[in-house]
Amino acid sequence: MDKVYPGVDKAVADIPDGASIAISGFFTAGTPIPLIKALAKQGAKNLTIICMQMGPGNEDINQLIINKQIKKAICNYPFYRSASRGASSPAEQAVRAGEIEMEVYPMGTFSEKLRAAGAGIAAFYTPTGVGTVVEQGKEKRKFGGLDCLLEHALKPDYAFVYAYKGDRIGNLSCHKTARNYNPEMAAAGKITIAAVENLVEPGDIEGDMVHIPGVYVQRVVKVERPRYIPTID
Amino acid sequence: MNVTRKLRGLSRELIALRIANELEDGTYVNLGIGIPTLVSDWIEGRDIILQAELGMLNTGPLASRDEVEQDLINASCQPVTELAGSCFFSENESFAMIRGGYMDTAVLGALQVSEKGDLAGWQNPERGLPEDIGNIGGSMDLAVGARKVIIAMMHVTNDGQYKIVKNCSYPLTARGVVDLIVTDLAFIEVTPKGLLLREVAPGLTAEDVQSVTEPRLIISPDLKEMQL
């Protein structure tokens, strides 16, 4: 079972127009930048992307917006903090102009929707968001006196994940805070594509150090470590 | 319209110090963006474990220029360091910890806090985005999940508007969750009877603080100047 693809372009080649894609990464950490660049080059349109943010700490997503490849974005912290950076942000401009639909969820709800999808759970109740705009249109139910909202699983067609180390059968090991959304997105994706800094043979990652079991990963591609300086506004 | 007059109070750093003095040893704490992040400067060496909600416990101080590691950041995207006993996990597990009630205290910023302890902090309508679009981030989960919520903020807006209000007019983060409000001017506890003014910044009076606070304050019989 060898899941290695020869390069990022081959790994994303079959993504059709209208696909939904989860893209991992918390600001600058653990973001599969080479896969985003390959998707911009590949050109699939009408995409739904599921990612923490739309630009801050990950300017590469901007290229997808500029290319008008995105129909809808599902996020939890989509924009720059400062209004002045927002004025020049392609994502914020596209949302303001109505060119991109957007759904925003609380950060914990966002990743739980993905976890549920990967774990075969159809929906779940959470107390987060009760009494706020987040509850609009959602079933509310009391458990032990605590109001909760019904949230549904979110299963993307593809997931782009990133790992420090990966083997040929898809076992992945992450590095420090670059793990973030990677495990849940890997499990949620119908086809999960892992960009790995170090491609190794089965057995080279100690079993106890596998953070994402290979069963969740359909494609592995070796990439150069993207260099960036962590900073956002 | 400027509804308040200008009072001289604590710096952002000293608001953070007052909050650091309020945190108990042996607790797990999450610090939000802004003034809350500055609390970390005052707790080095204390028996307090900081969580970074992207997936780290025992988060160390900010990294110096030559320590910067791109895979080691806090939730504000600042490079940080590890301490003995640091550990890493997924963002999903991090929020399981938060909702699961394992964070003793969350220190958060706010745009408005009401006298009932409602918190509005994730969207400023003046930015002109649709009401359900903005940076929610981890704020709603932390506000609901942490056992104690301390707000760190300036007492009024830059243009002098109330931030401590009868009812929040900005989109809510959560209802009835705030325990303490620490500002440049005052230390206020949210109680079932209303807002209890416990401390004022050095040189200020209860009347000064009331003049920049929309709801009626209950003045503590033990009203003190903040000890810093």
ipTM of this model?
Answer: 0.96
pLDDT of residue B1: 41
Best residue of B58, B141, B175 to probe chain A, by most A CBs closer than 10 Å = B141
> Which of A56, A112, A230 lies at the smallest CB-CB distance from B73?
A230
Which of these, A180, A183, A50, A125, lies nearest to B94 by C-alpha position? A180
Number of H helices, E strands in chain A: 7, 11
What token pair was written down for A60? 């590469």
> Which of A102, A104, A177 lies at the smallest CB-CB distance from B54?
A177
Per annotation, catalytic residue among B13, B22, B44, B53:
B53
Q: Is the pLDDT of residue A159 over 80?
A: yes
Contact A136/B53, CB-based, under 8 Å?
A: no
Q: Kindly list the residues from chain A whose CB atom is less than 8 angstroms away from the CB atom of residue B88.
A: 174, 176-177, 179
Q: What is the mean pLDDT of chain A?
A: 96
Q: Is the pLDDT of residue A123 over 60?
A: yes
Answer whether 0.90 is exceeded by the pTM.
Answer: yes
pLDDT of residue A13: 98
pLDDT of residue B3: 52
pLDDT of A30-61, one tens digit each?
999 999 999 999 999 999 999 999 988 778 89
Quick one: average pLDDT of A173-180? Answer: 98
The verdict on B145 touching A (C-beta cutoff 8 Å) is: yes
Active site residue B53: yes
* High-pLDDT (> 90) share of chain A, %: 90
Kindly give, in sequence order, each residue whose CB lies less than 8 Å from that of residue A39, ignoring residues fewer than 6 positions away. A12, A15, A21, A64, A69, A160
pLDDT of residue B8: 86
| SS3 assignment, position B106 | strand
Q: What are the Cα distances from residue A79, in Å, to A99, A231, A232, B164?
A: 16, 14, 10, 26
Q: Kindly list the residues from chain B whose CB atom is less than 8 angstroms away from the CB atom of residue A180.
A: 54-55, 90-91
Low-confidence ranges of chain B (pLDDT < 50): 1-2
Contact B132/A129, CB-based, under 8 Å?
A: no
**B37-46 contact pairs (CB < 8 A, 24+):** B37/B74, B37/B76, B37/B78, B38/B12, B38/B13, B39/B107, B39/B152, B41/B13, B41/B16, B42/B16, B42/B17, B46/B20
- Residue in chain B closest to A113 (alpha carbons) equals B92
Q: What are the Cα distances from residue B157, in Å, to A13, A38, A49, A220, B149?
A: 51, 44, 36, 50, 21
Kindly give, in sequence order, each residue whose CB lies less than 8 Å from that of residue A130, ignoring residues fewer than 6 positions away. A140, A147, A148, A149, B144, B174, B175
C-alpha span between B227 and B17 (Å, rounded): 10
C-alpha span between B172 and B178 (Å, rounded): 12
- Residue in chain B closest to A114 (alpha carbons) equals B92
